[in-house]
Amino acid sequence: MTQTAADTLDRIPPQNLEAEKSVLGCILLDSQVCDDAFDILRPEDFYSNANAKLFGKMLQMHSDGMKVDPVLLVERLGTAGDLEAIGGHAYLVEVAQSVAAPSHASHYAAIVREKATLRSVLAAAYQATSDVYSCNDAPDAILERCEASLSNIRLGSEKREPVTLQAATLKAATTIDAITQGQAAGVLTGLYDFDIDQGGLFPGELIILAARPGIGKTSFAMQVAYNVAQHRGLVYFASLEMSDEDLSVRLACSISGVSSRLVRTGRLTEQDNSKLSQAMNEQSNAALEIHDQPELTVASIRRQLRKLKKRGLVLAVIDYLQLIEPEDHKIPREQQVAKMTKSLKRTSRECNVPILCLCQLNRMADGEEQPMLSHLRESGAIEQDADVVLFLAPHKPTEAAGNNASLIVAKNRNGETGPIPLDWHPGRTRFTCHNRYSPHAEFSGHDGDDNDF
């Protein structure tokens, strides 16, 4: 007979009390195995409250530089009033006598951790069941929370062992050799000066592109996304503000050179229509997928990236951070944004793709000659979690510098910072390089040989 979810509620969750006692016994018999156990387990991994308390005290003693032995443990438990709560001296004796070979500590710890992971999966399933029966949320919201919980369980159970400097150096040498032979380590944007300066957008990194409204963030991001989709591979574009149709029209204007104002007012000539038709035929072949949904969460974005990664995803773009739906509406806004950026950073590493996330600057940036990191809106965690922070800002042309826009690299964990001069063409909703390095000014990768990848 098939079991239902309700049938499982009265069953004992996965656990192995003997393995729990054996881990504790190994530590009591030989403090040399402490690091093996403490590297694998946390107090909450224990099913028995008594065992969790014991392990917590042992961990605290070890962290304080104390030797973990029965006498000192009894003193620590007695001082805290926890001795009787764990079963008194009799239980400590039982624990100490539960093993004969302390060297098996890591084996017992792995069993305890495995059962804890299964209980976490069960807890996520129970929470989903409770959410379903409460009928307080939409099915999509329940599904996204469940997926986020399961993802956190998996990420939390993945532990990478330290590697030798020799192994890391061999990997670095391989990467450098590939770059020397012309293989770009980063995803080239098509913005020639930026690619020369920074090497492109790197897999596993969270890149924030911030500006005040109306400066051209979406246009910039769409040009990068289209250029990468033409030359490098599949691109995901999460659009929380503009429809997929609007983005397509804007891109066609950018490619064709036809003013977006003429499109909106319907004052198109036959030549304009021909250029737009040719641009649309061209852009329809790009490997770019637009996710047009106004209430996306980080969990739903992560779900899409995992699916697309199997098809060769090379870049993800999110327009924009402040419009992402928080998973917990009860916590303060600053904490909501901090959770989003932390999760996006973790997602970029998990999927090993660069995530270019657009962001609003606060009003303090108005009137300033150059935006600052403190102008990032709503949370200092944006600056903390981002690997790269880019500012898009207007620039007043002068005789010395004729550009009318700048891309400012304000933060870069692995490279240099500073401004990159650009030119903004509002009619075409398009940016071009200001010829600092290249003889070709066009932004896209198909307007000159030097810009081709």
pLDDT tens digits for range 11-32: 788 999 999 988 888 888 887 7
User: Is 241 known to be catalytic?
Assistant: yes
**Cβ partners under 8 Å of residue 60, min gap 6:** 76
Residue 453's pLDDT is: 25
pLDDT (0 to 100) of residue 2 = 41
For residues 5-15, average pLDDT:
69
Q: What CA–CA distance (Å, rounded) separates 27 from 43?
A: 14
Q: What is the pLDDT of residue 80?
A: 63
CATH code: domain 13-157 is: 1.10.860.10
Query: pLDDT category, 407, cuts 50, 70, 90?
Result: confident
Rounded CA separation 73/339 (Å) = 38
Q: Pick the catalytic residue: 20, 75, 241, 289?
A: 241
Cis (ω within 30 of 0) for the bond into 320?
yes
What's the chain's average pLDDT? Answer: 79
Q: Which has more confidence, 399 or 236?
A: 236
pLDDT surpassing 70 at residue 311: yes
State how far the Cα of 139 lies from the Cα of 442, in Å rounded to an integer: 46
* Residue ranges matching CATH 3.40.50.300 in the chain: 174-451
Which one has a higher pLDDT value, 428 or 336?
336
The confidence band for 192, taking pLDDT boundaries of 50, 70 and 90, is: confident
Longest CA pairwise span in the chain (Å) = 93
Name which CATH class applies to 174-451.
alpha beta
Reported as a single tens digit per residue, the pLDDT across 382-396 is 878 889 999 888 877
- Please tell me the distance from the alpha carbon of residue 317 to that of residue 108, in angstroms, as a whole number: 44
The burial class, CB within 10 Å (0-12 / 13-18 / 19+), for 150 is middle
445 contacts 190 by C-beta, under 8 angstroms: yes
Q: Per-residue pLDDT for 3 more than 50?
A: no
Per-residue DSSP letter, 201: B
The pLDDT, as a whole number, for residue 8 is 56
pLDDT for 452: 30
CATH 1.10.860.10 in the chain is located at 13-157
Of 47-61, 82-96, 235-249, which range is least confident? 82-96
Residue 378: pLDDT band (50, 70, 90) is: low
Q: Tokens representing 18?
A: 């003997």
Helix (H) or strand (E) holding 314: strand 313-319
H/E stretch holding 444 reads: none
* DSSP notation for 97-149: TS-S-GGGHHHHHHHHHHHHHHHHHHHHHHHHHHHHHHT-S-HHHHHHHHHHH
Name the percent of the chain lying above pLDDT 70. 85
* Three-state secondary-structure class, residue 414: coil
H or E segment and range at residue 234: strand 234-239
The DSSP call for residue 312 is T
pTM: 0.67
Residue 358 confidence (pLDDT):
93
Per-residue pLDDT, averaged over 88-93, amounts to 83
